[in-house]
Amino acid sequence: MAHLLIVEDDELLRDALVAQLAQAGHTVASAANGALAQVQLEATRFDGVILDLGLPVVDGMEVLRWIRRRLLALPVLILTARDGIDDRVQGLNAGADDYLTKPFNMAELEARLQALLRRSRLPAFGGSLALNERGGHRSLRVDPVQPLAWLGDEPLDLTQREWALLALLVANTGQVVSREDVLAAWQAQPGDSGGSGGAAGSNALEVYVHRLRRKLGDSGLNIRNVRGLGYLLE
C-alpha cells in the first residue's frame, strides 16, 4: 500500500478521492492548492501524487515542473478538467506519468494508479560501468530502454532477455539482484509471453546467466551466483 498525496481544489472531489483511496488501503494526505502541496512534498516522502492541473495559488503545471526538478522518480498522475489535448500533451511533456480527464471513473483511477506504482517499484534498469583493463580502459554501456549494449565500441549481440538481465545487473552493480527481480523484468518485456515463472524460470535463468558470462568474455566482469539470494555483478 502506498503513501499518496492528492492535490485538488474542488473540495467534494478531493474528499471523495481521499475516502476512496483510503478505503483501498492507502495512506492519503491532501492539499487544496499548489503551494500547500509543495509544503507537504518538502516535508514528507510520498510514493505517488494525484495532481489536478487547474489549481489556485500555484498552478498544477508549475507544481509538476517543480516536482520533476526535485523528485525525479516520484510517480505523478495528472487530472485535467479541460478536455483539450494540449493540456495532456503539455502535462506529459512536463513529466507526468499518466493522466485522467474529468469526469473520471474511480475504478479507472485506481487501476491507473496501481499500474503507475507497480512500474515505479521495478528495479532500476541500464547504465554504464568503467572497466580497468590491462593496457587501457573500456566501458560497458547498457541502454536502459532498448535492447542494446556495448563493450567499449563493440556492440554486444544480446537477446532481449540477456539484455534485460544485464541492464538489471549493471544498474544495481555491487548489490545482489534477486531471481524474482529478473523474472519480473522479463515479464515486463514487450513480447515476452511469460512462461518464466516457477522452477522452469529459475532453470532458464541459469542458462541465460551462463550465456551472458560467455558474451562478457575477457571484460573482467563476473556474474557471481550468490546462493539462495540471486546474482551479483563484480
CB nearer Ca ion, residue 87 or residue 162: 87
Least Å distance, CB 37 to Ca ion, is 12
**Helix axes of 160-171 and 198-216: crossing angle, nearest 10 degrees:** 80
Least Å distance, CB 24 to Ca ion, is 23
* Residue 52 binding Ca ion, by CB under 5 A: yes
* Residue 95 binding Ca ion, by CB under 5 A: no
* Residue 152 binding Ca ion, by CB under 5 A: no
* Residue 104 binding Ca ion, by CB under 5 A: no
CA distance 17 to 11: 10
Query: Could you write out the DSSP letters of every residue in 165-191?
Result: HHHHHHHTTTSPEEHHHHHHHHHTSTT
Ramachandran bin of 14, using left for φ above 0, alpha for ψ from -120 to 50, beta for the remaining angles? alpha
* Residue 9 binding Ca ion, by CB under 5 A: yes
Grid coordinates representing 215 are 558474451
Select from 4-12, 119-127, 161-169, 183-191 the region that touches Ca ion (CB under 5 A).
Answer: 4-12
CB nearer Ca ion, residue 54 or residue 201: 54
> For residues 212 and 166, is the Cβ–Cβ distance under 8 A?
yes
* Residue 147 binding Ca ion, by CB under 5 A: no
Select from 26-34, 46-54, 122-130, 199-207 the region that touches Ca ion (CB under 5 A).
Answer: 46-54
* Residue 62 binding Ca ion, by CB under 5 A: no
* Residue 123 binding Ca ion, by CB under 5 A: no
Residue nearest Ca ion by beta-carbon distance: 54
* Residue 97 binding Ca ion, by CB under 5 A: no
Q: What are phi and psi of 225, to 5 degrees?
A: -85, 115
Order of strands across the sheet that contains 27-31: 27-31, 3-7, 48-52, 76-80, 98-101
Least Å distance, CB 39 to Ca ion, is 18
DSSP conformational letter for 145: S
Least Å distance, CB 89 to Ca ion, is 19
* Residue 54 binding Ca ion, by CB under 5 A: yes
Least Å distance, CB 60 to Ca ion, is 8
CA distance 199 to 214: 23
CB nearer Ca ion, residue 52 or residue 87: 52
Strand (E) positions, 16-147? 27-31, 48-52, 76-80, 98-101, 127-133, 136-142
207 three-class SS: helix
- Applying the rule CB under 5 A, the residues between 162 and 181 that interact with Ca ion are none
Least Å distance, CB 17 to Ca ion, is 12
Binding site for Ca ion (CB under 5 A): 9, 52, 54
